[in-house]
A and B are shown apart, each in its own frame.
Chain A
Amino acid sequence: MIKTTAQKIYVALIFIFMYAPIATLMVLSFNASRTRAKWGGFTLNWYVELFANEDIMQALYNTLLIAFLSALFATVIGTVATISFSGMKRRNRAIFMSITNIPMLNAEIVTGISLMLLFLTLGVRFGFGTILLSHITFNIPYVILSVMPRMKQLNPSVYEAALDLGASPAKAFFKVVFPDLLPGILSGFLMAFTMSLDDFIITHFTKGPGVDTLSTKIYTEVKKGIKPEMYALSSLIFVTVLILLILVNKSPKPKDKVHKAERN
Chain B
Amino acid sequence: MNKPVRKKAPAGVSYFNQKAMTAPYLFWSAAFIIIPLCMIFYYGLTDRSGAFTLENILAIASPEHAKALWLSILLSIISTLVCLVLAYPLAMILTAKNVSHQSFIVLIFILPMWMNFLLRTLAWQTLLEKTGVINSILSFLHLPSLDIINTPYAIVLGMVYNFLPFMVLPLYNSLTKIDPSVVNAARDLGANGVQTFCRVIFPLSIPGVISGITMVFVPALTTFVISNLLGGSKILLIGNVIEQEFTQASNWHLGSGLSIVLMVFILINMVLTAIFDKKGEGTAL
Chains A and B touch (C-beta atoms under 8 A apart): yes
Is chain B's binding surface mostly helix, strand, loop or mixed? helix
Measured CB to CB, the closest approach of chain B to A101, in angstroms, equals 7
Given A28-B126, A191-B110, A160:B252 Cβ within 8 A: no
- Residue of B25, B114, B127, B252 touching A77 (CB-CB under 8 A): B25
Q: Which residues of A contact B118 (CB under 8 A)?
A: 200, 215, 218-219, 222
Tell me if A107 and B219 are in contact (CB < 8 A): yes
Complex CA distance for A101 and B22, rounded to whole angstroms: 16
A window 220-242: CB within 8 A of B: 222, 226, 230-231, 234-235, 237-238, 241-242
> Which residues of A (93-137) have their CB < 8 Å from a CB of B?
96-97, 99, 101-111, 113-118, 120-121, 133-134, 136-137
Residue contact A88 to B18, C-beta cutoff 8 Å:
yes
Residues from chain B with Cβ under 8 Å of A201 in the complex: 224-225
State the interface size on chain A (CB cutoff 8 A): 94
B122 at the interface (CB under 8 A from A): yes
Q: Is the CB of A105 within 8 A of B269?
A: yes
Separation of A133 and B13 alpha carbons in the complex (Å):
32
Look across to chain A and name the residue whose beta carbon is closest to the beta carbon of B12: A86
Q: Is the CB of B40 within 8 A of A114?
A: yes
**A61 CB to closest chain B CB, in angstroms?**
15
- A residues near B90, Cβ cutoff 8 Å: 10-11, 14
B112 contacts partner chain A, Cβ-Cβ < 8 Å: yes
CB closest residue in chain B, given A242? B111
Give A60-103 as 1s and 0s: 1 = Cβ < 8 Å from B's Cβ atoms.
00000000000000000110110111111010000011010111
Q: C-beta contact mask, B196-217 vs A, less than 8 Å → 1, else 0?
A: 0000000000000000001000
Contact A114 B116 (CB under 8 A): no
Whether A156 and B21, one on each chain, are in contact in the complex, defined by CB atoms closer than 8 angstroms, is no
B270 at the interface (CB under 8 A from A): yes
A205 adjacent to chain B (CB < 8 Å):
yes
Q: How far is the CB of A129 from chain B (nearest CB, A)?
A: 13
Q: Quick one: which of B25-45 are within 8 Å of A by CB?
A: 25, 28-29, 32-37, 39-40, 43
Question: What are 21 A-B residue pairs whose CB atoms fall within 8 Å in the complex?
Answer: A7-B93, A11-B93, A28-B123, A78-B25, A109-B223, A110-B262, A117-B40, A118-B35, A136-B28, A137-B28, A173-B16, A191-B110, A204-B247, A215-B118, A218-B119, A222-B118, A230-B116, A230-B119, A237-B114, A238-B115, A241-B114
A interface residues (Cβ-Cβ under 8 A, vs B)? 7, 10-11, 14-15, 17-22, 24-25, 28, 36-38, 77-78, 80-81, 83-88, 90, 96-97, 99, 101-111, 113-118, 120-121, 133-134, 136-137, 140, 142, 145-146, 148-149, 156, 159-160, 169-170, 173, 177, 187, 190-191, 194-195, 197-198, 200-201, 204-205, 214-215, 218-219, 222, 226, 230-231, 234-235, 237-238, 241-242, 245, 249
